[in-house]
Structures are given as C-alpha cells and as structure tokens.
Amino acid sequence: MAVDAGSIPELDQKKYDADEQVKIICLGDSAVGKSKLMERFLMDEYRPQQLSTYALTLYKHAATVGNKTIAVDFWDTAGQERFQNMHPSYYHKAHACIMVFDVQRKLTYKNLANWYKELREYRPEIPCCVVANKIDADMKVTQRSFNFGKKQGLPFYFVSAADGTNVVKMFRDMIKRAVEYKQNPSDFMDEVMQELENFDLEKKDNSEAEEDGLKAESPELV
Ligand SMILES: Nc1nc2c(ncn2[C@@H]2O[C@H](COP(=O)(O)OP(=O)(O)OP(=O)(O)O)[C@@H](O)[C@H]2O)c(=O)[nH]1
Ligand SMILES: [Mg+2]
C-alpha cells in the first residue's frame, strides 16, 4: 500500500533519522507531578500515546546532544499506587531514571527509598536523579536539605512543573547522561546489548552497500 509521505508525522521522521535512541523512565508516588513535568518539558511537541493495558504514556522527543540527534522515549505511568510495583517491562532497557517527590508531602520523599530499591533490582547501573517538585508552592523548601541519594551520588534538582523552574535543565542533563550511559554501559548485560546493536547496524550498512553495488551493476533492477 502506498504511503503518503505528507502524512508521516515530523517526529517519526526525526526518530527515523536519529543517531541514537534512549529510554528514560520516571518514578515516584502518585500525584507528585511526573506527568506534569514531562508535559512542561515537551510542551510544544508532546504526542502522548495511550497504551491502556498498562496505563502507560509514551512521550516521544527528538533532542540534540553535541551534533547528534537523539530520539528520546519518556515512559510515564498513571496511578502507580494501584499497582504497588511497576511492571518489569517498564524498567527494561531504560537508560536513565528520574525519581520525583512532592516537597509538600513528606511521605513521597520517604518512599523514594522503595522506588530506588526497586529500580536497582532491575537496572543496577543506570544514571538516576532525585527531583523535588512543586517548589512554587513554598519557596522556603529550597533552603532545606534533602539527603536521600547523596550517599549514592545522585544529582538533586529543585523544580516546579507549574512555573517551569529548572525543568529544562534537569531533563537536558538526564538525556545527556542517558546517551553517555548507552554508549558506555557499566552493566554487563547492557554492554552485550550495545555490542549486538552495533553488530546489527554494521550488518545493515553492509547489506545496503551490497545492494547499492548490485543496483549500479544491474541497472534493470533499479
Ligand atoms: N503547585 C504545583 N502543583 C503541581 C506541580 N506539578 C504537578 N502539580 C499538581 O499535582 C497534581 C498531580 O500531578 P501529575 O503530574 O498528574 O502527577 P503524577 O505524578 O503524574 O501522578 P500519577 O499519574 O497518579 O502517578 C496535579 O494536580 C498537578 O496540577 C507543581 O510543580 N506545582
Ligand atoms: Mg501521571
């Protein structure tokens, strides 16, 4: 069936052209502002795709890191408290994780320890950060110190999805770290996956080159 090139969304085209693809997940209690943060960051171009089975929203974004185009898949779930634990596929092949709590609800900060523990069961090495959201509601909280994650060396950000404070910086940093991780994984299985991916790409390049050669020699095949 013919495909009308005009009907292919621009984002898909960018993704097709991307040099690299990364997956970034977001963790945290319900209503801490995970979805609002993503929406704030992707405001001008977000295209949510609802997969109702797991109440999962995938946000696709094309970023530029250095001189490369990066296709970023942001994964977000709704109403996590109903599921208690995340489905393992949520963590599968994630390259970075953004852990969010609500500065106005202490329990969401305490629960970071549970989220972090679960994350590390599935993804022991990926870059992760701690995000204190909703600082617009009480700017005084930025004077306080939140030590969770310090021991593990996790970067910390005070942000507000409502007024945009620090949102772009936090996401850009995490995209960069996701790309760095993908290119230099410190987890053995990820190293294997990256090798396989490179191998596939090489194979594809070779077969394309062969095909081009064939076309040049046999013009009737064109
Ligand atoms: N004041 C303030 N409210 C916020 C901020 N971010 C989110 N909210 C509010 O917090 C509520 C929850 O935000 P969501 O983004 O839906 O939370 P979530 O973490 O995605 O929640 P689940 O999908 O249930 O897991 C909404 O009413 C938002 O308007 C913020 O930065 N400041
Ligand atoms: Mg949500």
Q: Is the CB of 160 under 6 A from ligand 1?
A: yes
- pLDDT given at position 109: 96
Distance (Å, rounded) from C-alpha 99 to C-alpha 85?
15
Q: Is the CB of 78 under 6 A from ligand 1?
A: yes
- What is the ipTM, given to two decimal places? 0.99
Average pLDDT over the chain reads 82
22 pLDDT more than 50: yes
Give just the sign of the alpha carbon dihedral 29, 176, 39, 103.
positive
Confidence (pTM)? 0.81
Q: From residue 129, how far is each of 7, 36, 46, 101, 175 by CA, in Å? A: 38, 17, 22, 11, 12
Residue with more model confidence, 213 or 148: 148
7 pLDDT more than 50: no
Ligand 1 center to 30 CA (angstroms): 8
pLDDT band at 68 (very low <50, low <70, confident <90, very high): very high
Q: Is the CB of 30 under 6 A from ligand 1?
A: yes
Q: Is the CB of 36 under 6 A from ligand 1?
A: yes
Ligand 1 center to 174 CA (angstroms): 20
Distance (Å, rounded) from C-alpha 99 to C-alpha 116?
8
**Mind listing the pLDDT tens digit for each residue in 207-217?**
666 665 555 44
Distance (Å, rounded) from C-alpha 199 to C-alpha 205?
10
Q: Lowest-confidence range among 47-61, 98-112, 148-162? A: 47-61
CATH superfamily of 18-191: P-loop containing nucleotide triphosphate hydrolases (3.40.50.300)
Helix (H, G, I), strand (E, B) or coil at 108: helix
pLDDT band at 125 (very low <50, low <70, confident <90, very high): very high
